[in-house]
Amino acid sequence: MATDGVKIIDGDLARDTYDQIMDLYDSDANIETIRKEVPFVKDDYGPDTDFYHEIFVTSYALAFWEIGEMTDEILNEVKRVIDLKAGVKVWIEECDENEGKKRQKELDKLLKKISEPNQKIRKRKKYKLIKNFYFQPDDVLAFQLSDKNHYAVICAKVTQQRGQCTYDLVATTYKGKTKPTIDDLKNCFIAGRKIGSGFDPKTTLSHQPNVDQIWRYVKQDNFIFGLPYHLVTHRDIISFKDKFEVVGKLKIKESFKRDGGYGYESSFERFESIFSDLDNYMKVFGEQKYPVTLLCEI
């Protein structure tokens, strides 16, 4: 286990919980829909359930208080998890007594805040959507580096979230003196990553349909498969979009498009750095190679 910052919205679980609620809220979803999509339930996080549940509950509570939907059920659960002091104990064990006190202070501030009605309910935000994309989902983008070799990435999806538009690219292992064709790519691989599952194989499979196809390929079962994304914002790609050429379409199966990590690439020099030694890059970041024919609809 690794602790993040002591604040209520610090770390992946807290941020994901809070953002998921707010994204639904800003999309004009009603409260019943938000509660259905992000249920207030205790999940099984394994041996550190109390620690992670505290993070989930407190971030959930903050979001619901901000949108004016605090309930006695949520408030009472916040009180219960704070009394357990699971998070404070972890911060003391992994950091020191001082960090434990800082976490306790943040929890006390939260409880005081949400115990009173919110007098300034957060308004739903309206974000401007990009309508004219430079690239489309499933586009295969070829590019040439200074070594004169050609490489390729797949634009798995285009994401618009909280006013930011990104082209979500995944790496392929194609490297050649000529631009790749789709037939060339059928003999190549895509970068992927295994993500530990806290569930039994049947439940894991229900969460990610067809992942058993990947299990059979690697001769290992019961993990979630994710794609390591190279995100390029619509704004950043303006300066180097001409470096890429669409050479065809390849659709990665929807169930395999789970987030397996991401990094923002703000310049073409980043692609030069990554793809000039892709094998080493993948090794450093714990990525593996999976056949294009396995991951894509071909």
Q: For 80-100, write each residue's pLDDT tens digit.
A: 999 999 889 988 988 889 989
Q: Is the pLDDT of residue 79 over 60?
A: yes
- Kindly report whether the global pTM for this prediction surpasses the value 0.85: no
Cα end-to-end span (Å), the chain = 39
- Over residues 263-287, mean pLDDT: 96
Question: pLDDT grade, residue 45 (50/70/90)?
Answer: low
* Residue 99 vs residues 58, 88, 246, 282: alpha-carbon distances, Å: 18, 8, 51, 34
pLDDT given at position 3: 59
Please name the helix (run of DSSP H) or strand (run of DSSP E) that holds residue 259, with its range, or none: strand 259-264
Which residue blocks in 186-230 are alpha helix, DSSP H?
201-207, 211-218
- Over residues 2-9, mean pLDDT: 79
Share of the chain above pLDDT 90, in %: 78
Contact 166, 150 (CB under 8 A): no
* Residue 119 vs residues 65, 116, 201: alpha-carbon distances, Å: 10, 9, 47
For the ranges 58-62, 174-178, 200-204, 291-295, the lowest mean pLDDT is seen at 200-204
Q: Is the pLDDT of residue 193 over 60?
A: yes
